Homo-oligomer: A and B are copies of this chain.
Amino acid sequence: MSVPVTIYDTTLRDGTQGTGISFSTLDKIRVAERLDDFGVHYIEGGWPGSNPKDAAFFQEAAKRTWKKAKITAFGMTRRGKLKVEDDAQVQMLLDAQTPAVTIVGKTWPLHVTEVFQVSLEENLAMIADTVAYLKKHGREVLYDAEHFFDSFREDPEYSLKTVKAASDAGADLVVLCETNGGALPEWVEEVTKKVIAHLGKPVGIHTHNDGGVGVANSLAAIRAGACQVQGTINGYGERVGNCNLITVMPNLQLKMGIDLGIDLTRLRELSFFVDELANVPHDIRAPYVGLAAFTHKGGLHVHAVQKLARTYEHVDPSLVGNERIITISDMSGQSNVLMKAEAMGIPLVKGSPDVNKVLAEVKRLESEGYEFEAAEASFELLIRRQLGREIRSFDLIEYHTTHRHHPHNKVETTEATVKISVDGERVYTVDEGDGPVNALDRALRKALLPLFPQLGNVRLEDYKVRIIDSGTGTAAKTRVLIVSSDGNRTWGTVGVSTNVIDASWEALVDSLEYFLMKQD
């Protein structure tokens, strides 16, 4: 007896309650458009009664046409002392002009009496009044029953009364919220079954990941007959985060055979996009979409993987927009290097001195702190260098940076000079910048651009600095990772030195040399 399952995204509301996550109104619109494009059914855009910025989002959203998703405004049941029509916060819900609204209400008697400071009966009226009022104004109404799974343990009867009140007042869907995030799947399944039996209709599920089982809890509720999963992209959210939709969606559609009507091959792209806008580093170990999700490291495994891909991967990576990656590391045997070189168009012979040369160099550099997993461009240059096949476009003679900071005189200057040799010609440039690396970057491009105008398209996308052995404080070895892009492709390069400027120079040069090499 299977019901259609809908996906309700609260990245823009519950997700923003997470540490370090905040979106501008424009960001929110961009995320919403991408979510709509992807095919989620509901997009909870904000909480206008709590966050004034959110009203701006709904104004913008109202101007647009949405393909499939229903933009949803979030709010609360009316205040205890007020009539629902007099509650400004409820009015703001209507002002948002959304097809759907979700209101959260209190389930746990302790919260009702201590936080709301109203009677248990009044709380039921608050729920019913608010739902009915919003229905009367033509909205689809979802009711979030806060702390449901904890409350049900202490007072199952009252808990059931709250959701019955919402349901009887016309709520289109009751959503059980596992607000504290600590329940285990067995309890979630049991309670969900009971509520569905009591109401005579399916419910939605809204879980958190405090016990590390947020996704499993949502799946358990679906098994019990729930018809909607609420969550966030990449599991953003307060504390440990909300149920991660990026994990739940493929589990439902690929593992449990539930058709959500979405194109999962765009899953990874969606995950990365939202991380980018939220300025959150991608979780390389994210299920399904992480860079490492289908990455094989151990040499022994890789050999077998090449032979029998489907038996070593729980799904075909392309089904979720991901790809199989072979990484280089000190545990890898020849297979890894061979596959990587082949992918670069450099055929190597298994067991050859060439392969061993490359392996030895990789191990040596790794023991010095280099990591090539996100710096495949530096790795390719390394391979070519070892095989005597490197094509260098320029040679460094000298560089020099200077920085002066005099707050009282308002002096702030950073300057870099670069002396390079291109085809035997000496080129000597100087430029300023916002910092030493920027100044070097500009001086270097100034030197190269007249000779290689195509470099004009290359931009630095990301710049990461990591201290390798921080036990030595500011003198520690530094690893710099640069991600560059020409608008089409992106590539990563790495540099290591105790001096962050030298490490950055190294990664910068690799980036430009790699680009120029690819042009030939």
Residues in A lying within 8 Å of B, measured CB to CB: 16-20, 22, 50-51, 108, 110-111, 114-115, 147, 150, 180-186, 209-213, 215-216, 219-220, 223, 235, 238-241, 244, 247-248, 251, 255-256, 279, 284-288, 290-298, 300-301, 304, 307-308, 311-315, 327, 329-331, 371, 373, 396-409, 411-412, 414, 433-438, 441-442, 459-468, 470, 473-476, 478, 497-502, 505
Contacts and interface: CB of A to CB of B under 8 A. Distances in A.
A200 B251 CA distance: 33
Contact of A463 (B22, B212, B284, B467): B467
B435 A478 contact: yes
Nearest to A402: B402
Contact of A115 (B304, B434, B498): B304
A239 B293 CA distance: 5
26 contacts: A17-B297, A17-B298, A19-B291, A20-B371, A111-B308, A114-B308, A147-B311, A182-B315, A185-B185, A185-B216, A186-B223, A211-B255, A240-B286, A396-B405, A397-B408, A398-B404, A398-B405, A399-B405, A414-B501, A435-B499, A436-B499, A438-B473, A441-B474, A460-B470, A461-B473, A463-B470
Given A212-B216, A213-B213, 5 more contacts: A19-B373, A51-B331, A150-B311, A433-B474, A438-B499
A267 to B, nearest CB: 13
Contacts of A114: 307-308
A437 B405 CA distance: 13
Nearest to A445: B474
A290 B330 contact: no
B437 A474 contact: yes
Contacts of A414: 499, 501
A115 B182 contact: no
Contacts of A279: 468
Given A297-B18, A499-B434, A251 B405 contact: no
A76 to B, nearest CB: 9
Contacts of A181: 314
Contact of A247 (B211, B292, B406): B211
A403 B308 contact: no
B307 A247 contact: no
B287 A403 contact: no
Contact of A500 (B308, B311, B312, B437): B437
Given A19-B297, A398-B406, A470 B462 contact: yes
Contacts of A401: 401-403, 436
B435 A474 contact: yes
Contacts of A212: 215-216, 244, 247-248, 251, 287-288
Contacts of A470: 460-463
A444 to B, nearest CB: 10
Nearest to A248: B212
A301 B403 CA distance: 46
A259 B79 CA distance: 45
B256 A184 contact: yes
A512 to B, nearest CB: 12
Contacts of A185: 185, 216, 219-220
Given A180-B312, A211-B314, A498 B435 contact: yes
A208 to B, nearest CB: 9
A405 B400 contact: yes
Contacts of A110: 308, 311
Given A315-B182, A398-B406, A460-B474, A287 B498 contact: no
B436 A436 contact: yes
Contacts of A297: 17-19, 238
A380 to B, nearest CB: 19
Given A215-B212, A294-B239, A327 B19 contact: yes
A405 B312 contact: no
Contacts of A184: 216, 219, 251, 255-256
A154 to B, nearest CB: 10
A459 B436 CA distance: 24
A55 B481 CA distance: 33
A223 B185 CA distance: 11
A314 B180 contact: yes
A135 B371 CA distance: 41
Contacts of A466: 464
Contact of A474 (B210, B300, B396, B438): B438
A103 to B, nearest CB: 14
Nearest to A286: B240
A314 B212 CA distance: 12
